[in-house]
Amino acid sequence: MADNSFSDGVPSDALEAAKNASNTEKLTDQVMQNPQVLAALQERLDNVSHTPSSYIETLPKAVKRRINALKQLQVRCAHIEAKFYEEVHDLERKYAALYQPLFDKRREFITGDVEPTDAESEWHSDSGEEEKLAGDMKNKVVLAEKEAATGEEPNPRGIPEFWFTIFRNVDMLSELVQEYDEPILKHLQDIKVKFSDPGQPMSFVLEFHFEPNDYFTNSVLTKTYKMKSEPDKADPFSFEGPEIVDCDGCAIDWKKGKNVTVKTIKKKQKHKGRGTVRTITKQVPNDSFFNFFSPLKASGDGESLDEDSEFTLASDFEIGHFFRERIVPRAVLYFTGEAIEDDDNFEEGEEGEEEELEGDEEGEDEDDADVNPKV
């Protein structure tokens, strides 16, 4: 039988490869003669090559030298900005002293130690909807009074469960609260912010004041947040103001059997030799808001934390900042829910702007597509 794998001494595979290469060259020539395809390819090349870093690399040494001088000036600006924030911290301390008498009176009204006067209790709402709601509530009260003419409207002391209600209203806090934490938080009477003294390292302390209760003997639980307001030597351009770098909690003196941060589990153990089984009990950590006072420590020995630990620490810092900046100064508005509605409206506004921007970008892409069709 004749062998067809060779033709005139040339392998058939080599002939086939040469034929395919010739066809590819012809197709490439046809594509490269299309001006729209060339324009699209050039645009892609331009987008790749015109990055800021690649542009800087093309500059003459004399220009790069001047850019380095600008960076030195930028570092000096960052250090001046750090001083600015230190003075802001001093101002916060000064005005905290002016706020405190008002916050002390707030506590007295909440606990019922002082009853506000008629003048202090007067409040005119600008919302027609609130007035309508108040009218509806008034009608219900009238009906209730008719049904129980001899009964009297309850008049509890102060504003019951004020701070606990705030915890329930704010998602960031309610996520931390377990069902067994709730009876304890109902004894919370006040939360205060204390700023570090002049000349001391920048920090602030959150104080949680509790009335006497069946769970622990502490009257005050504290959480201290340590801050830094100076550019990082390794990355000075990342400085954007003071940041929380570490925090310390406090020991909670739990009464016997009342510690909600641990739980007791029973475990069976079998003796390898005798085969006997015994039951042991041990305490293990339990989810609770009160773990807030036993925070994870930031690594100070140069070792990096794992991803979960970094997330936990970042969340803790965010909560501490939220207490300081939002909850304590505007407590009544988080109790009524008005501050939460404002926060939601602000977030919705930001999302709307993002959607509008995305829509504009899509429109630009469509216009570009008419000029520069995709390859």
Q: What is the CATH number of the domain that holds 332?
A: 3.30.1120.90
- Which alpha helices (DSSP H) does 175-232 contain, by range? 182-185
Q: Same structural domain for residues 30 and 165?
A: no
Does residue 215 or residue 9 have the better pLDDT? Answer: 215
Would 363 be classed as within a structural domain? no
Please report whether residue 146 resides in a domain: no
Residues 50 and 191 in one domain: no
**Residue 227 and residue 278 in one domain:** yes
Q: Note whether residue 371 is domain-resident.
A: no
The whole-number pLDDT of residue 323 equals 97
Give the Cα separation of 344 and 362 in Å (integer): 27
Rg (CA), the chain: 34
Domain that holds residue 324: 81-115+158-299+308-344
Q: Pick the closest to residue 174 from 184, 186, 165 (CA basis).
A: 165
Closest by CA position to 180, among listed 262, 296, 237, 72 = 262
Which is more confident, 116 or 300?
116
Any domain includes 10: no
What is the band of 199 on the pLDDT scale with cuts at 50, 70, 90?
confident
The more confidently predicted of residues 208 and 25 is 208
Question: Does the model's pTM come out above 0.75?
Answer: no
163 and 271 fall within a common domain: yes
Residue 130 falls inside a structural domain: no
Percent of the chain with pLDDT over 90: 47
Q: Residue 105 falls within a domain, yes or no?
A: yes
